[in-house]
Amino acid sequence: MAQQLLKCCDVSFKLLRICKLFPEEGQENSFSYLIPISAVLTLNFLQWALTIFYIIDGLQNHYGLEVIKFGIVCCVSMYGVIWINTSCFRNRHLLIALAKAMSDFKTFGKPPAFDEVNDKINFYSKLHLVYLLGGSLLYFVVFAPMQQRNCKIQTSIRNITTPCSIFVPIYVPYVEYEELERSPNIYVINAMLFCLIVSVYVTCGIVVWNNFEMVEYIRLRIRHLKALLLSAFQEADKVARRGIFRKSLSYHAEILRMARLADTFYGTELFLHVILTGAILGVSGFVMIESQQIDVLMIFVGWLNAIIIGCVSGQRLINESSTIPDILYEVHWYNFDTQLKKDLVFFLLRCKQPMRIRTANVIMTNTLIIEILRTAYSYFTLLSSISK
């Protein structure tokens, strides 16, 4: 896909290209794109599998929840990240089609204030990147050493050989823990894990943020549509009014197509995200309170922020699309000719259902945040009762 054809999400698409999750021009099915992204996703899956092996090894050797709980949180969190990145990779054609539609100014013109909104979105994208990189580095600088100290305390108490000098808990079958702890093995493993985890989590964060960006561009198109409708209804000449109104109907159909593309793309990505977020927040909260350690705080904050972005963007799309019929309050519609009044009735019926982002049968709204927090609290109380 030609970079010069894209006039939206400049920062996010550039970052996704660097992370190999968004293809260059005409390379969405080429080996130069498929091989690097397949390698990254395979390494991501391998790390997730090694974390599962760590949990299984801990259960078989009766390490106890205090030792393996951090591995459980990492395992669930990494599974969600794999799902989001893989969904973006599998449905990249939908994202490309949506980006092309957003960048088409020839058919219906350029929305007013597009450049200002685009600059603002790009600025916030840079701030979000700083948040992602800062959070990732904060984990490795502050929280990883805290986890290592806690790991050493637990292993010394229980007299087990779990390696505590690795950033995340993993177990490599048929390899002794002593081999992993030796130099330079430990430095190579930590360097690989650092690069992999930062790139994977940052990529996931960019994909989630791109949901908010695309919704903002759709909202901008809706405001442009309302301005076009207003100009049609204020037109005194009946023939000119009919022509502008027909163009508005075509524009509305195109915006509905954009919303369906966004719904299909982000709905698939958010499906497991919504399901897992409650579990991740509940388990992370339990680990922090039960052990009085904050080594999983970044996972908790990251997933909470991601679901808030998804829900708020869905709510903003619903709110904006629901205001389309309000344009009639600004004109004397009762003076229109009979045929236009009939067309307006069908148009209003079509606008009755707002545009929305859905995942399965769940609609992304602000109330979903409360429901997810309730689910997280249920997981927290369940784990608390089991631990007692």
* pLDDT tens track for 62-86: 777 667 777 888 888 888 889 999 9
Q: Domain limits of the chain?
A: 3-387
Q: Which residue has the higher pLDDT, 119 or 26?
A: 119
pLDDT of residue 3: 46
Q: Which pLDDT tens digit goes with each residue over 84-138?
A: 999 888 888 999 899 999 988 998 999 988 999 999 999 999 999 999 999 888 8
Beta carbons within 8 Å of 129's beta carbon, 6+ residues apart: 11, 15, 202, 206
What percentage of the chain exceeds 70 in pLDDT?
97
pLDDT of residue 4: 53
pLDDT of residue 296: 80
Q: Which of 101-110, 170-179, 309-318, 374-383 has the lowest mean pLDDT?
A: 170-179
Amino acid at 117: V
pLDDT at 388 over 70: no
